[in-house]
Amino acid sequence: MTDVYKVPKGAKKRAHIDNDTYEKWYQESIRNPDKFWKKHGKRIDWFKPYSKVRNASFDGKVSIKWFEDGQTNVAYNCIDRHLKKRGDQVAIIWEGDNPYDDRKITYNELYEHVCRLSNVMKKNGVKKGDRVTIYMPMIPEAAYAMLACARIGAIHSIVFGGFSPDALAGRIVDCESTFVITADEGLRGGRKIPLKDNTDKAVDIAKRDGVIVSNVLVVRRTAGKVAWYDERDIWYHEAMAEAKPDCPPAKMKAEDPLFLLYTSGSTGKPKGVLHTTGGYLVYASMTHEYVFDYHEGDIYWCTADVGWVTGHSYIVYGPLANGATTLMFEGVPNYPTPGRFWEVVDKHQVNIFYTAPTAIRALMGAGNDHVTKSSRKSLRTLGSVGEPINPEAWEWYYKVVGDKRCPIVDTWWQTETGGIMITPLPGATDLKPGSATRPFFGIEPQLVDAEGAVLEGATEGNLCISQSWPGQMRTVYGDHERFVQTYFSAYKGKYFTGDGCRRDKDGYYWITGRVDDVINVSGHRMGTAEVESALVSHDAVSEAAVVGYPHDVKGQGIYCYVTLMEGVEGSEELKKELVKHVRGEIGPIASPDKIQFSPGLPKTRSGKIMRRILRKIAEDDFGSLGDTSTLADPAVVDDLIENRQNRK
Ligand code: 6R9
């Protein structure tokens, strides 16, 4: 394996940013952030220009404001401002689950759809600041819904279509959302997902918990049969046909909320990560342009789902703010065949392609033929996001998919950061497989030890960011104290990411994974506590402890240690039932991979579960369990080892 891949000549010549420019801009952005961002804040249009740039403190109560006296509108920036120059250019290419199903939507058409939908929402009482829940498949209407919210100043909260009715209800209740947009059914890999049915169930659960959803707007996607409640449900196509095709964009303050997105942490229920208007859009659009080296006319494809932050920033807001053509894919990588991605690349002549390591590993396993029978000549930049990419998968992506022509941008960031934070730039950065390389403009990473001491040079530690950037989350919805506690209490005056990281002698960053109880399963972020509470909500379960373990395709798999109630016998049947139960509570993305019935869990005398030991056993690496002297009952460990479920 090669250690370093130099910037390809072609990439250097074409790129917006070469290495000298990177160095120069980066230094400027750190030395004088106000000056730097004052200039780059102007990349979006403002109704009222800002005079203040940055007003942020990571101490005490923590307050983060960018461009605070400016006024703008995100939908205006993503649509209206492009109409004169590129009204007839395609804004969204939609590629359906079925390879014969596609659609192209121009900026003019996007304008009309979004305006009509804005009027539909207004007519049904949605106002500035209201929370609108979006539970949709990957269809253009999902993007219209986001942009229509942005246009009228409503705050959207997208819930990934793979979440269960319970999970959807929890999110509706947390932000007291009374308007839901969904579809009759979703379609992925030929399988139908009962979105309306799930929504009906969620609305009932929410009602029980005191939140009454007044309207459910339903897009007809498959025309499958759904239950209908006249007093509440509205067909999208009927309402849209009656709505007016123009709607003025609301004047939004830079710090008005744009969206909420629920994400998992190490404790408690998922938190509503809140992003605001001005800074977020500046950061999403700027990173989209420079990280992918986006040029006018490029066809850009990010394979994420709009239910995750990657879909927000890099399918919808970043690309559309830049006037790009963004491809939205309804399906899955291996349907109808594992060649699907590359067929779509050729079909739409995709130039920039952004996906997740889990997809790369799965396709790598399906064999090179599926790739090599496509041309892929249009490809120029490849991207990776969601979890660390192992060097083998990186090399395959680079050599087989990219024919050694295309730089890979391994982009590290989080729901909380709003946009890409550590990443190569295609024309500037020599690449090392497995490294996210260097910080983006304005980002100052610090590695700290457990006591909070800042480590210098080549080292390894916990990854913090020492100063604010425009795309940063502003609070946890409805719980600012939790925001401060979660991100700013471990290391004073710094944002703590929850990730571990190594820095090498060249100053390159290598993310080593989460250092908290968050696991990353196929790029889906999950709290082990969430899976545990789903397990113990089953009648047969008395206690559960969940850890991640290395998984060839998913990155991490879900390993569950389950202690059953007195008198209950463990069986293969019961395992199946527990898997089904967890899927029902959280959603199919949280399916346990391994369940081990364990009469006891390794606990300290004060009753704390020693997860370190459980992780080791799940990894089938029990030779070095470390210090077990604090265990209340060391015999428990022998039983766990004997009955381990992941034998290599
Ligand atoms: C964008 C997104 C965030 C967590 C993050 C980290 C992991 C994301 C990564 C990466 C290594 C990368 N992560 N990108 N780890 N290299 N390029 O994925 O947001 O769903 O909030 O997950 O994902 O552990 O802390 P989110």
Measured in angstroms, how far is the CA atom of residue 188 from the centroid of ligand 1? 24
**Same domain? 179 vs 110:** yes
Asked whether residue 644 is marked as a ligand-binding residue, the answer is no
- Confidence tier at 607 by pLDDT (50, 70, 90): confident
**Would you say 405 is a known binding-site residue?**
no
ipTM of the complex: 1.00
**520 shares its domain with 392:** no
CB 309 within 8 A of CB 163: no
Q: What is the pLDDT of residue 194?
A: 98
Q: Note whether 95 and 35 are same-domain residues.
A: yes
Q: Is 511 domain-assigned? A: no
CATH number at residue 521: 3.30.300.30
Residue 350, pLDDT score: 98
Cβ atoms within 10 Å of 604's Cβ, excluding its own: 11
Look at the chain and report how many structural domains it folds into: 2
Q: Are 410 and 524 in the same domain?
A: no
Q: Establish whether 337 is an annotated binding residue.
A: no
DSSP class per residue in 207-230:
HHTT----EEEEE-SS-------T
Residue 4 lies in a domain: no
Question: Which whole number is the average pLDDT over 209-237?
Answer: 98
Residue 1: pLDDT band (50, 70, 90) is low
Residue of 358, 525, 528, 556 with the most ligand 1 atoms within 8 Å of its CB, for mutation? 525
Written as six digits, the tokens of 140 are 């253009």
Q: How far, in Å, is the centroid of ligand 1 from the Cα of 525?
A: 8
1 within domain boundaries:
no
Residue 435 within a domain: no
Question: Is residue 499 classed as helix, strand or coil in its secondary structure?
Answer: strand
d(CA 293, CA 423): 12
Peptide bond into 336 cis (omega under 30): yes
- The tens digit of pLDDT for each residue in 454-478 reads 999 999 999 999 999 999 999 999 9
Query: How far is it between the farthest Cα atoms of the chain?
Result: 74
What is the C-alpha to C-alpha distance for residues 177 and 155, in angstroms, rounded to an integer? 10
> In whole angstroms, what is the distance from residue 262 CA to residue 421 CA?
20
In a domain, 510, yes or no: no
The strand pair at 215-219 and 233-235 is best described as parallel
Residue 520: CB within 6 Å of ligand 1? yes
Please, are residues 255 and 277 in contact by the beta-carbon 8 Å criterion?
A: yes
Q: Are residues 452 and 582 in the same domain?
A: no
User: Per the domain annotation, does 437 fall within a domain?
Assistant: no
In sequence order, what E strands does 426-481 have? 445-448, 454-455, 459-465, 475-476
Query: How many angstroms from the chain centroid is the CA of residue 310?
Result: 4
490 & 541 share domain: no
> pLDDT digit string (tens) for 312-355?
999 999 999 999 999 999 999 999 999 999 999 999 999 999 99
pTM, 2 dp: 0.95
Q: Which structural domain range is residue 525 located in? A: 516-643
Tell me: do 163 and 276 sit in the same domain: yes
Asked if residue 211 has pLDDT above 60, the reply is yes
Same domain? For 271 and 366 the reply is: yes
Ligand 1: which residue has its CA nearest to atom 18? Answer: 386
Ligand 1 centroid from CA 537, angstroms: 29
**Antiparallel, parallel or unpaired: β 155-158 and 131-135:** parallel
CA distance 196 to 217: 10
Q: Is residue 155 part of a domain?
A: yes
Q: In terms of domains, do 480 and 581 share one?
A: no
Beta bridge partners of 105: 92
pLDDT digits (tens, 9 = 90+) for 120-169: 999 999 999 999 999 999 999 999 999 999 999 999 999 999 999 999 99
